[in-house]
Amino acid sequence: MSPRAVLVGPPGAGKTTVGGLLAEALGVGFRDVDADIEAAAGKPIPEIFFDDGEDHFRALEREAVASALASFDGVLALGGGAVLAPATRELLAGHTVVYLSVELSDAVSRVGLGAGRPLLAINPRATLKYLLDQRRPLYEEVATVTVVTDGRGPEEITAELVAKL
């Protein structure tokens, strides 16, 4: 069993929105690893970060990604930082990985000022720029398909993905 598509990208790329639409278009289920982590921890991600620290969150994330890749056959959305773990990047090899690319201005307008996003709590714009710069090479490394999302609606992005998949 293997996901039909695994969506990666920074906050604001549209992984959850496009993922749900793509799953519907393909007639498969949708799963968001962040929701899996919250269910396993019994609390929202911001609370995991603040109560237990980012390292603990990343450990939960690695476990959730590995489990989902091995047991789920729909459209899977990973958290923006999941690709930071070398073990996760290795697990993604052989999967159809879609990198939803977004530039800073669109990402900022989509995520707002980071409400509910612990890494964006302080100076969201500068932090988001740093995250984009840091993670872009990792997204590109794991991607089998890249879709530019800037200035486009979720339906248009989904249509492009359906055609490519």
146 is in an annotated binding site: no
16 is in an annotated binding site: yes
pLDDT at 126: 77
pTM of the predicted model as reported, rounded to 2 decimal places: 0.89
- To the nearest whole number, what is the mean pLDDT of the chain? 89
pLDDT over threshold 70, residue 136: yes
pLDDT over threshold 60, residue 115: no
Structural contact between residues 73 and 2, judged by C-beta atoms closer than 8 angstroms: yes
Number of folded domains that form the chain: 1
Structural contact between residues 47 and 55, judged by C-beta atoms closer than 8 angstroms: no
* Structural domain boundaries enclosing 129: 5-164
pLDDT at 34: 94
75-111: pLDDT as tens digits: 999 998 999 999 999 999 999 999 998 876 666 565 6
Cα 148 from Cα 165, distance rounded (Å) = 15
4 is in an annotated binding site: no
Mean pLDDT of 98-127: 66
Find the CATH number of the domain harbouring 96: 3.40.50.300
